[in-house]
Structure 1
Amino acid sequence: MTPPISILIVEDDAEIGEFISLYLAAHDIETKVAANAQAMDAAFSSGAYDLLILDLNLPGEDGLSICRRVRSERRIPIIILTAQSEDIDKILGLELGADDYIVKPFNSRELLARIRAVLRRTETPNAVDGRAVGQAYLFSGWRVDVLAREVVAPCGIKVAMTGAEFDLLHALCENPHRVLTREQLINMTHGPTTGPFERSIDVLISRLRQKIETDPKKPAFIQTVRSEGYIFSTHVARA
């Protein structure tokens, strides 16, 4: 029997935390609410979670700092909660490794959809979802293992990737030598959405270049096509 999804919610507003918790419970998702970073750390030390929902406006250690710290310590997917006026915080959150964001006030059905989308993107793919078991991509000595969701550098070292970074690299590997617009990349990695996610693709591209390019300022693989988007300019083979 598949264990239920378990989500840790870091939210200092008790009403919002309870609302999210009750709504997700109605959809067979277990939750625990932590009001601050200290309570979150205690929750992590006593249990395992499939996803973290993180409010940015928290007392004590703020959400951006928590996001940076959690991403450096764990591979757990992160969805940040942010106010409508905090566009810069959305971008910063994505730069620090968050996989998605949702704006307050939010629709509960949208939150559930975002959770499911992030979990789908970060779970281990298998034959059931249409991808071949063991599928991998090879380019210039790099190996992108779709089954294990691992990226291995030419030197043999595994390169840590967030779920969003891996999905973007996967999309590029599936479409080498093809100019992809930001909108196309959004649809391939996040699904249709609105807001500053077009800018988030630029953030993800920058993060990915830092990890796979010898000189991120003069990229050999992920090249910008002015006024159009990006192109993955390297030969890609399937293994």
Structure 2
Amino acid sequence: MPQQTILIIEDDTDILMIESTYLQSAGFQTIVRENGDHILAFMEENPCDLVLLDLMLPGMDGYAICEQIRKKYDIPVLMVTARNESLDKIRGFNFGADDYIAKPFDPMELTARVKANLRQYQRLKQTSKSSEPQAEIRIGDIRILPDSWRVFKKDTEIHLTNREFELLTFMAKNPNIVFSKEQLMEKIWKYEYVGDTSTVMVHINRIREKIEEDPKKPKILETIWGAGYRLNN
């Protein structure tokens, strides 16, 4: 496999050095930016496999940069920030972030998160290119097309992030089964998650906003209090 490239967008020189050093030691190539100015043009000239994005940057903040990246690229975006409030995480996921790690962080954990996100992305790409066609999945008026990575509600296409798509597809392939947050973290994120499991809740809520008639009273993705979540079909 060719060497994978990580784009690091970080204005703190010390943190940038730590991130770059550990990722290079893990076998990655790194390219760096101190801000998000003209980020799409930069990425066009400097292709990368994952973006490691600081939230607090001069000028355009990480949320706006992530939103710009999502207009053109579906590669993993991992937010790195000193802000660890749930609302900040929710905002990050809403703008298209795939994962979130708070400063101060263990460089080994950061490296593990990067590897996990890349593995998941490659797995999804390989699945979409599989020569064996996958059957369309229907849940009421929702259609999931695993081969083309597309989801429709009636005749309208719904745009999901990589994580949202894999989470919805996994649950749609396993309907009427209750999965705990921890089980979903293991199945979808593919590693032992350090910290709370609010990530799952955020992604479930985001999917509900896109597929449910009334996201506040979900009928498809149901919360089973004290147990987890179930997709009803």
Alignment of structure 1 residues 139-158 onto 2, 5 Å: 139=138, 140=140, 142-148=142-148, 150-153=149-152, 155=154, 158=157
Look up the match of 2:126.
125
The runs of 5 or more residues in structure 2 that have no matched partner are: none
Q: Determine if the alignment matches structure 1 residue 30 to structure 2 residue 29.
A: yes
Q: Are the aligned partners of 1:136 and 1:143 in contact in 2 as well (CA < 8 Å)?
A: no
Look up the match of 1:94.
93
Look up the match of 2:54.
55
Pair 125,42 (structure 1): closer, same or farther in 2 beyond 3 Å: closer
SS at match of 2:210: helix
Deviation at 1:180, TM superposition (A): 1.6
Which is worse superposed, 59-68 or 18-27? Answer: 18-27
CA distance in 2, matches of 1:184, 1:166: 17
Q: Are the aligned partners of 1:133 and 1:147 in contact in 2 as well (CA < 8 Å)?
A: no
Report the count of equivalent residues.
Answer: 228
TM-score normalised by length of structure 1: 0.83
Pair 99,81 (structure 1): closer, same or farther in 2 beyond 3 Å: same
SS at match of 1:60: coil
State the identity as a percent.
37
Deviation at 1:114, TM superposition (A): 0.8
Pair 126,138 (structure 1): closer, same or farther in 2 beyond 3 Å: closer
For 1:144, the aligned partner's letter is: I
For 2:79, the aligned partner's letter is: I
Pair 155,48 (structure 1): closer, same or farther in 2 beyond 3 Å: farther
Deviation at 1:95, TM superposition (A): 2.6
Pair 182,132 (structure 1): closer, same or farther in 2 beyond 3 Å: farther
CA distance in 2, matches of 1:137, 1:109: 39
CA distance in 1, matches of 2:221, 2:162: 18
SS at match of 2:126: coil
Deviation at 1:85, TM superposition (A): 4.4
Look up the match of 1:76.
75
TM-score normalised by length of structure 2: 0.85
Q: Are the aligned partners of 1:97 and 1:162 in contact in 2 as well (CA < 8 Å)?
A: yes
Alignment of structure 1 residues 1-239 onto 2, 5 Å: 2-38=1-37, 40-83=39-82, 85-123=84-122, 124-126=125-127, 133-139=132-138, 140=140, 142-148=142-148, 150-153=149-152, 155=154, 158-190=157-189, 191-196=191-196, 198-234=197-233
Q: Give the CA RMSD over aligned residues.
A: 2.5
The runs of 5 or more residues in structure 1 that have no matched partner are: 235-239
Pair 87,226 (structure 1): closer, same or farther in 2 beyond 3 Å: closer
Q: Are the aligned partners of 2:86 and 2:198 in contact in 1 as well (CA < 8 Å)?
A: no
CA distance in 2, matches of 1:22, 1:161: 33
